[in-house]
Structures are given as structure tokens and as C-alpha cells.
Structure 1
Amino acid sequence: MNRLKLKQSKTKAIQLMLAGFALTSVLIACSGSDDDKIDTEYPVIDISAANAFPIQCSEAIRGQKFTFRAKFTDNSALGSYSLDIHHNFDHHNHSTEVNDCAAEAIKKPVKPLLYINSVTIPGGLKSYEATQEINIPADIDPGDYHFLIRLTDKEGWQTIKGISIKIK
């Protein structure tokens, strides 16, 4: 009979040790640092500065250059951004701005501007002042265009800002 009690005591001791080990493992896993937090915040595109360009309803001139300027921020780390300029001669919409711009009549594109460029932001930055010189060819169709800014952070969260501009 003593042997059975001893065996049961050993089994209980092993079970208690395993339960303690499991509890300790869970506590250690849950007590990670702030660096272990999952990033669920979208990055921010800021075009409110006085020198930001373009903003809603801005104008660019064929045959001239302009400098894109915006501030990007993220709670953890920025990744990359992409600029896309394409015609809006058919009045489609992906503007994210509240106010509309006066639109020209719908027309068929003959030689519209299509500009797409991606930029990798230097690693580990939470804030970045983006600047990029963009050349507007002299021989493209003037009119209504969209200027899309896509900002992605290191975790893959993306923010899109759609701006309506005119090329004259």
C-alpha cells in the first residue's frame, strides 16, 4: 500500500511541476517588451505644411518640373512610398480630399501623362520628409489628372492619398 501512495505522490509532483512550467512559459511569453507589440497603425501622409506640393487642385505646367513634397510618419517604422500620376479625362474618382476641383469636359486621351515611381525609405525611420523632382513633358495632353501617394510602413500597412491636379 505504501508503494501505491509513493507512486501517486510522484505522479502528483510531476503533474504540479509540469503545470508550473506551463504557467511560467505563458507568463514569460506574455511579458514581452513594447518592441514585441504587433503594429496595427497605418502610416500618415501629411501635406499640410506650407511647402507641401501638390495639394488638392494644384496646377503643374507642361514642359516644366515641380518638386513633390510631403511628410510621412509612422508609429513604428516607414517602408516605402509610391507616386502615381495619371489622367482623369473620364472623371473617375479616387480623391481622398473633401473639396472637389472644377473639372474640364470629358475627353479621350491622345497622349496622357503616366508617371509611376516607387521609393524605399531608409530603414528604421519613423518620420521622413519626402521630396522628388518630377518632370512634366511638354507634349502630353493637358487637363485633369490624379496624383496618388501610396505610403507603406515596414509591417505592410498602407495609406493612400488621392489628389486632383491640373496640368496646363
Structure 2
Amino acid sequence: MKYLRKLLIVTFVILTVVACGDDEDPDKEKPIIDISIEDAFPTNCDTIYFGETFELKLLFTDNEELGSFSIDIHNNFDHHSHSTEVTECNPGANKEPINPFAFIESFSIPDGLTIYETNQLITIPAGNNDGLYDDGDYHFFIRVTDKAGWSTYKGLSIKMFHKQTAQ
């Protein structure tokens, strides 16, 4: 009798665990970054000016739920490439960085959204304690991650100048 009772308890526990399992298909789709919307900024080959503020305007979509996004701006003075769709836009001459600008920041997306249009204001300083930032070729990377952890990257080639030295 004790054996039957133990067997029933084990069977009950197994059935409970199986019944409570997640029957839904896991999210297997990456989110999408859309830079073709009206007034999207930046897009490939755009110019951003030091000492000014710009509105980051992009559209993110996901089949289930968006999570967060980040941007990374770094110099491309040596015209290196990445495994994204970064393309060159009339690159300047290769040069050694003296005081290059670098920016990495993450932003949250409100819970429950499958579509999100950014309207983030980003201020680019003119310089730091070492002086004015270097003008020239930069990469602008955008990464969006959904709640399931899938992410998509988009890389853009941009120019960054001080207004008084804009070329």
C-alpha cells in the first residue's frame, strides 16, 4: 500500500509539472529597426554637429514585445568595417585620433509595446577636458533588444563636425 501511495504522489507531481508547463511557442523573431520612416534621424551619411542637440527618430517593431535600445557612436578615422551594413560616405583621409568622441548609452522602452518610435533628445558636447572633439568620420550603431533577448543591430556611417569647421 505504501508503494502505491508513493507512486500516486510521484505521478501527481509529474502531471502537475507537465500541466503547468508553458504551451506557447517561444519568441524566435528578432526585432526590426526601421530608418525609412518620415524624418528618421540619423540615416546613413547624415551629419551631427558637436555642441548641439538632435532628436533620435527611429522606429522599432517586434512580434511580441520590445525591451530596450542602445546607441554607440565611435570614430572611424581608420575606415575600419564591421559585420553590419555600415557603408562609407565619401570618407575623409585616414587620421590618428587626438580627442575622438565616444558615446554609448542604453534606453528603456515602455513595457508591453510591439511598436515604438523614438523621440530621444541627445546632446553632443563640443569637447571635454582635453579640448574639442575630433571632426570627421564616425560610426553610429543602433541596437534594439526584445523582451525574449533577441537583438538587431544597424550600423550607419555619419560625419561629425563643429559648425565652424563643417566641410
Q: Specify if TM > 0.5.
A: yes
Q: Deviations over 1:45-67 (max 9, x none)?
A: 00101211000000112221111
Query: Is this contact kept in 2: 1:150–1:159, CA < 8 A?
Result: yes
TM-score calculated relative to the size of structure 1: 0.77
SS in 2 for 1:38: coil
Structure 1 residue 79: Cα displacement: 0.6
Extract unaligned runs of 5+ from structure 1: 1-17
Q: Distance in 2 between matches of 1:144 and 1:99?
A: 11
Q: Which has the larger radius of gyration?
A: 1
Question: Are residues 165 and 95 of structure 1, via their aligned partners in 2, closer, same or farther at CA, if it must alter by over 3 Å?
Answer: farther
Identical columns (%):
51
Structure with higher helix content: 1
Structure 1 segments of 4+ aligned residues over 6 angstroms from their partners: 28-31
Q: Distance in 2 between matches of 1:111 and 1:73?
A: 36
Q: Match for residue 140 of structure 2?
A: 147
Q: Distance in 1 between matches of 2:67 and 2:157?
A: 25
TM-score calculated relative to the size of structure 2: 0.77
Amino acid across the alignment from 1:90: D
Amino acid across the alignment from 2:116: Y
CA RMSD of aligned residues (A): 2.4
Q: Distance in 2 between matches of 1:150 and 1:86?
A: 14
Q: Match for residue 75 of structure 1?
A: 63
User: Which stretch of the first structure deviates more once superposed, 96-105 or 135-144?
Assistant: 96-105
Q: Deviations over 1:19-43 (max 9, x none)?
A: xxx8xx98x68993xxx21100000
Query: Is this contact kept in 2: 1:95–1:164, CA < 8 A?
Result: no
